[in-house]
């Protein structure tokens, strides 16, 4: 897959293009991309995903503090590369670009610079200033500029149209099974191990405190989770807590992410780490003492091992 940061050196044979943010690269996105590749193959063209960086909302509403993404740019590139695309265009999203009408975008970008052959869109896709470019408008422009437009039906899973929004909602309520089902893979969180209070070590459950790579990465709701941990290319089972550490910290505004890695010992401060969410075990609870917390962590460990045993 060729990755293009802009269109200065872009060149493709009869490009078949789809456009979007593709946050999560979930099952719905994968259905669109599979059709994109099929059409490109059948027409003797090349498949092209056109996406943006930074996320459009970060430019259009820069003061908004509610943007939560399923994938970082690096994660998105890796997931798309696995789908064996021909080209990925990551176009700089600026205020000037955001002001383009859908007609200007089609003419200036898709036609004049990319020489598009066919545009493939999802069932609800809209773009351009104020999102006025819908399927009917695109068909008219396609006839005007000499390219075809095909709109795909939504991918239904249990009669529900898969979308990034629904996956975010699932993660924000702790429904890990649903998020994994819609994504087609376990939700992933990457970061760096930073210094913590070391209280876990005092009660026999040392934890690695994780600082996410991207401040906009969505963190699942507070609670305890069974996770797969990757440290230095080696995978371990783990139990992860997301929350405010209510037993030992009354600062309710401080959200922490810390994982106890089963069967691991050693100093990994400053190391890169990733966790894949398998199942939510319980809510975060405030215990009366560290001893009660330790007793619960023993139960959590048993539950975690049971979850992994049942996956085999």
50 contacts: CB under 8 Å, gap ≥ 6: 17, 18, 19, 20, 89, 91, 114
pLDDT tens, position by position, 1-33: 999 999 999 999 999 999 999 999 999 999 999
Domain locations in the chain as residue ranges:
2-161, 187-311
Q: Does domain 2-161 have CATH number 3.40.50.620?
A: yes
Q: Kindly tell me the burial class for residue 187, based on how many C-beta atoms sit within 10 Å of its own C-beta (0-12, 13-18, 19 or more).
A: buried
Q: Would you state the torsion angle of the CA atoms of residues 193, 195, 196, 202, taken in this order, to the nearest 10 degrees?
A: 100
Encoding tokens for residue 47? 């498949």
Q: What is the pLDDT of residue 157?
A: 81
Q: What is the mean pLDDT of residues 114-141?
A: 80
- The β-bridge relationship of strands 87-92 and 2-4 is parallel
Higher pLDDT pick, 19 / 126: 19
Statement: residue 247 has pLDDT above 60: no
- Given a contact cutoff of 8 angstroms between Cβ atoms, the answer to whether 29 and 60 are in contact is no
Rounded CA gap, 226 and 280, in Å? Answer: 6
> How far is C-alpha 175 from the geometric centre of its chain's CA atoms?
16
With cut-offs at 50, 70 and 90, classify the pLDDT of residue 205: confident
- Given a contact cutoff of 8 angstroms between Cβ atoms, the answer to whether 275 and 229 are in contact is yes
Output DSSP code: residue 93: -
- The β-bridge relationship of strands 148-151 and 118-121 is parallel
Encoding tokens for residue 180? 């994994």
Give percent above pLDDT 70 in the chain: 91
Rounded CA gap, 278 and 228, in Å? Answer: 7
104 contacts: CB under 8 Å, gap ≥ 6: 128
For the 187-311 domain, the top CATH level (class) is mainly beta
- Given a contact cutoff of 8 angstroms between Cβ atoms, the answer to whether 292 and 286 are in contact is no
Q: What is the mean pLDDT of residues 52-66?
A: 85
- Given a contact cutoff of 8 angstroms between Cβ atoms, the answer to whether 167 and 174 are in contact is no
With cut-offs at 50, 70 and 90, classify the pLDDT of residue 248: very low
């Amino acid at each position: 897959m060729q990755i293009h940061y802009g269109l200065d050196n872009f060149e493709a044979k009869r490009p078949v293009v789809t456009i979007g943010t593709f946050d999560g690269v979930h099952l719905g996105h994968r259905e669109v991309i599979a059709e994109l590749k099929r059409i490109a193959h059948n027409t003797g063209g090349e498949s092209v995903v056109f996406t943006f960086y930074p996320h459009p909302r970060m430019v259009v509403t820069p003061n908004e503090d509610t943007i939560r993404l399923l994938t970082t740019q690096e994660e998105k590139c890796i997931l798309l590369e696995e789908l064996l695309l021909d080209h990925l265009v990551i176009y700089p999203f600026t205020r000037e670009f955001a002001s383009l009408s859908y007609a200007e975008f089609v003419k200036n970008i898709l036609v004049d610079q990319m020489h598009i052959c066919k545009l493939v869109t999802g069932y609800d896709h809209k773009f351009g200033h104020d999102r006025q470019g819908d399927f009917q408008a695109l068909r008219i422009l396609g006839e005007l500029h000499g390219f075809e437009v095909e709109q795909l039906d939504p991918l239904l899973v249990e009669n529900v149209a898969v979308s990034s929004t629904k996956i975010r909602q699932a993660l924000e309520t702790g429904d890990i099974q649903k998020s994994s089902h819609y994504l087609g893979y376990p939700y992933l969180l990457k970061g760096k191990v930073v210094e913590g209070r070391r209280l876990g070590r005092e009660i026999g459950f040392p934890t690695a405190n994780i600082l996410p790579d991207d401040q906009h990465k969505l963190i699942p709701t507070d609670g305890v989770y069974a996770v797969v941990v990757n440290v230095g290319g080696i995978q371990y089972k783990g139990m992860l807590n997301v929350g405010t550490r209510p037993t030992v910290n009354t600062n309710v505004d401080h959200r922490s992410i810390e994982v106890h890695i089963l069967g691991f010992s050693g100093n990994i401060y400053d190391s890169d780490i990733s966790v894949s969410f398998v199942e939510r075990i319980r809510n975060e609870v405030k215990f009366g003492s560290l001893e009660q917390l330790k007793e619960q962590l023993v139960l959590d460990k048993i539950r975690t091992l049971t979850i992994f045993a049942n996956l085999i």
